[in-house]
Chain A
Amino acid sequence: MAKKMLGGTEMEIDEDGFIQEPDKWTNAVAEGLAEEECEIHPMTEDAWKLVNFIRQYYIDYETAPAIRMLCKKCDLKLNYIYEMFPKGPAAGACKVAGLPKPTGCV
């Protein structure tokens, strides 16, 4: 597994850039992930709102929230989320929030 310096901490990342040790996640790591993996700099207030919600949901339920709930609870439109995180909520926002890679269906 590759290693990368993110926000001053050396983190293990997988082939898609998701961190492997969610416990080591900090705000600085999130900013590092946003810049390195998603080309987002700096994180806006709305981006933090989204990332913090995903993070808290993951801590509570050990899974990523459904898109509909995410949009509703954060009061953000899906297209706006794609503007903030061009790779989308899964490959963008979840990655920055330090979640393991979401499983999906092709």
Chain B
Amino acid sequence: MSETPMMDELEKGPWPSFVTQIKRAGESKALMAESSKDLLRQQETAFTEKQGLWKHGGIVGVKGYGGGVIGRYHMRPEDYPGLEHFHTMRINHPCGWFYTTDKLREVCDIWDKHGSGLTNFHGSTGDIIFLGTNTEHLQPIADDLSEKGWDIGSSGSALRTPTGCVGPARCEYACFDTLDFIHDVTNTFQDELHRPPFPYKTKIKASGCCNDCVAAMGRSDTAVIGTWRDELRIDNDAVKEYMDSGMDVQSLVVDNCPTDAIEMVNGKLELVRAEDCTRCMHCINMMPKAVRPGVNKGATILCGAKAPVLHGAVLSTVIIPFMKMEPPYTEFKEYWEKAMDWWDENGKVRERISELIDRVGLDTFLKHMEIKPVPQMVKTPRANPYIFWREEAPPGLDEFKKYIH
């Protein structure tokens, strides 16, 4: 009988199987002959004992970099000698995850030469993940990658590898060039990316529109979400085509507008309450040929999403409702540096920026940032997270006192 019955079970069915991939790596690579068997055996043990068997927190790295390589050591190297070191590396991905086949072969060849050959395209950080190599191979991998124009990604208390949606490369909804923006930001903040300077991790993600294909609003400390300042553009000839093809525009589009901003008027779709439109993208998603974003495009800057560690999961809050997003993105960069500076100065170890804002109040953050509170920052209906009484406020208090005494 097989030593790993539970793992073998995971090879069944029509889906790709990581177990099959690991077995194949063991057959084709001398370096992986022992490790692949140990990998499956240790996973089987982990399933049986209901606990992971990797140690937490190895510190390995390559010269000049404070992150990007994640040390993995096994708890029981004597039982699994092939896994004594099995480090993970993050490799910065191209914007929009566009590769030529030559480049893909190149990066896989480098990894085949120095590591397990097992990859994860891509991890949830957006990076390419290399799974499993020894300490002595780390520097040669970094050198080979660097020679071919690749770079290591980020880990630790740093700016994590910035990630954006595919943007205008494939998508007509994109309200700004997410690819150029992410490329620019990655290059500008190389120091913050490679040499962790902060109390904890921080992330920048950009989506070209409110559909938010990279879930920036849910998983980045600084989310940049494409939007427009003017009004929806509606082509009523195209609306008619949708109706003629049998689409019930009234119930599928108009009735589903969350703020009742659009209506059918005399058989035509009209934006009757433009000020109520929240740019939710619903009508555009339903009828992309008939409804388009406006022409005065830019982005909304949000702050503070994160997964649960100290506090529970948090969605981000609007900080700047509209910002023009054009190279060299000076306004965004100044905003980000100022916010990070405040967080770095005031944040406790392992406190994300949203936890700091929760601790000291959004008004303190806004005061430092010299940003006036606006209704868009309200987190939930009937909640007012930012106005607190201050001794020097509100203006006109003395005048008011004259009338109450």
Contacts and interface: CB of A to CB of B under 8 A. Distances in A.
Contact of A79 (B59, B156, B195): B195
A88 B57 contact: no
B201 A105 contact: yes
A63 B350 CA distance: 13
Q: Is the interface of B mostly helix, strand, loop or mixed?
A: loop
Interface string A83-101: 0001111110000000001
Contact of A15 (B58, B196, B197): B58
Contacts of B200: 105
Nearest to B65: A88
Contacts of B280: none
Interface residues of B, number: 30
B61 A91 contact: yes
Contacts of B392: none
Interface in B38-85: 56-61, 63-66, 70-71, 73, 85
Nearest to A86: B63
B345 interface: yes
B198 interface: yes
B270 interface: no
Interface in B250-303: none
B59 A102 contact: yes
Nearest to A68: B344
Contacts of A104: 57, 59, 156-157
Contacts of B198: 67-68
A60 interface: no
18 contacts: A15-B85, A66-B349, A67-B196, A67-B197, A68-B345, A71-B197, A78-B191, A78-B195, A78-B197, A82-B64, A87-B66, A90-B156, A90-B196, A91-B59, A91-B60, A91-B66, A106-B88, A106-B156
Q: Which 6 A-B pairs have the closest CB atoms?
A: A88-B66, A86-B63, A106-B70, A91-B59, A16-B59, A106-B155
Interface of A: 15-16, 18, 63, 66-68, 71, 78-79, 82, 86-91, 101-106
